[in-house]
Structure 1
């Protein structure tokens, strides 16, 4: 709430009160010079603020910003969400702003208050240590950051390094065919693609479609519909759908509500699958490279069509790799 007020220029520093036509002689109490108190001066440019920001900027190797908004942005973009680095670099600038404000109010309104500039740094470091003791990260921090926090007496925490997973294309069983579909969206333009193969990985058919404007969810949905339409045209009614979109799987299994703007397409999908024996599974993206290649083909060509699986070298390589169960390595995002 305090930072929100600061952004909307309603924190009652002297410059704000003067704008409200309240006559007063303004002097920043957190500055060695007789400067007028404004939000920019008090929280960023004044003697106290400069001292505190310089300490933590140097500690975490962050360049000073030109204004409060830019300063927060430089801090907030550090580290992966869920990491100790992201936590500390999000909370530290907020604590600096709050402690500077508390110090200013204490100097202004407490008669016997003793000014202690260093105490702000000690308070912030204390709270960082306390919070980190109770925090369990889900993502890893950078090596440089882990070295820096060691000087603060903070024990570094990182989730264990996960071994890469081996991913194969999953072939269907029995008389089922595999329908791999994928959607793509780039700069507001959507497209989809898919490939149909038998249980031995032999190519049956493929397609790519251009949907013009649309989101990634629209592309995933329409690619599934186009793939099912192609199966119906080929007389195929035993279909194993493979998609790397967990949302599509949940929508298909009615585990979560479908957004209203996609319901028309999903009614068509339900109508098609009513007369077919259809199963669906979620696969990793690495096991869906062939469909991913086709969806990007739709965006690049901005048209509908199919790929000659004997002439297109990249597509042929992907098909052969899947057919012979050549694995892909899926690296952990941590």
Structure 2
């Protein structure tokens, strides 16, 4: 039997210790040993087909447990067990992400939106190079999709800047899709297309750049959008804001980062 296994193994160029041609003989021997013990000590009957089924079921369970890797089938792409490979395992790594203050003398606008049970709300804030609040806002948008609400929250923030005569140099949102739509000049469905046009016009008038950031760098706007206030409100002083938003602004001004977990192939 050993010579059969060795000859079968040598028909492949693979030599990894966890290759299927190394694992399978071990599994086969194990189930042969179990069958032999059942026959000798439990009065069971030795059945070749039963051993084959046991081996097949065992490999199938390895696949369901995500314990099989594509590298284990190198040189055996026609093996039917290859279908059990679910893909590469993923490893999660933490990364510190913080809100970056704008350059000295510049202002930065952050906005975000929240849609809960069909109710869309938005919020945002304008801060200076020290992280000091210039103003903040909250607004209900009614029945809107996520992207539409994100765009409306951004538009409200830009309109408030225009009304108050302040010029943001930088604008940040955590919706990559919204940034791509604004920057690309793509045409969307109404009413999103109309709001996008207004956003682009205001950004051009301010000579402001818009960027996508991760939510960890947009925490005060994220919390303000989801805080659950009523109607529309504008805040000129930090003490007017809910405590959960004030604390996030303070942490940003201190440069305290949040932690984001990234997944990567192992």
TM tier, smaller: 0.5 to 0.7
Q: CA deviation at 1:323?
A: 0.2
Q: Which stretches in structure 2 are left out of the alignment for 5+ residues?
A: 1-52, 68-78
Which of residues 232, 249, 265 in structure 2 aligns to 1:304? Answer: 232
Displacement over 6 Å in runs of 4+: none
1:202 aligns with 2:155: no
1:229 aligns with 2:159: yes
1:128 aligns with 2:81: yes
Q: CA deviation at 1:333?
A: 4.9
**What is the root-mean-square deviation of aligned Cα atoms in Å?**
3.3
Q: CA deviation at 1:260?
A: 4.0
Q: Which stretches in structure 1 are left out of the alignment for 5+ residues?
A: 1-50, 63-78, 86-125, 138-157
> Higher strand proportion, which one?
2
Q: CA deviation at 1:296?
A: 0.7
Q: CA deviation at 1:202?
A: 0.4
Aligned length: 202
Instruction: State the Cα deviation string for residues 286-316 of structure 1 (Å, max 9, x = none).
Output: 111100111112xx23411135522532111
What CA distance in whole angstroms lies between the structure 1 residues aligned with 2:224 and 2:92? 31
1:208·1:295 contact (CA, 8 Å) conserved in 2? yes
What CA distance in whole angstroms lies between the structure 1 residues aligned with 2:82 and 2:166? 62
Greater relative contact order (CA < 8 Å, ≥ 6 in sequence)? 2
1:325 aligns with 2:255: yes
User: What pairs up with 1:21-60 in 2 under 5 angstroms?
Assistant: 59=61
> What secondary structure is seen at the aligned counterpart in 1 of 2:169?
strand
2:109·2:170 contact (CA, 8 Å) conserved in 1? yes
> What secondary structure is seen at the aligned counterpart in 2 of 1:175?
coil
Q: CA deviation at 1:162?
A: 4.0
1:179 aligns with 2:109: yes
TM-score, normalised with respect to structure 1: 0.53
Q: CA deviation at 1:130?
A: 5.1
What CA distance in whole angstroms lies between the structure 2 residues aligned with 1:267 and 1:330? 33
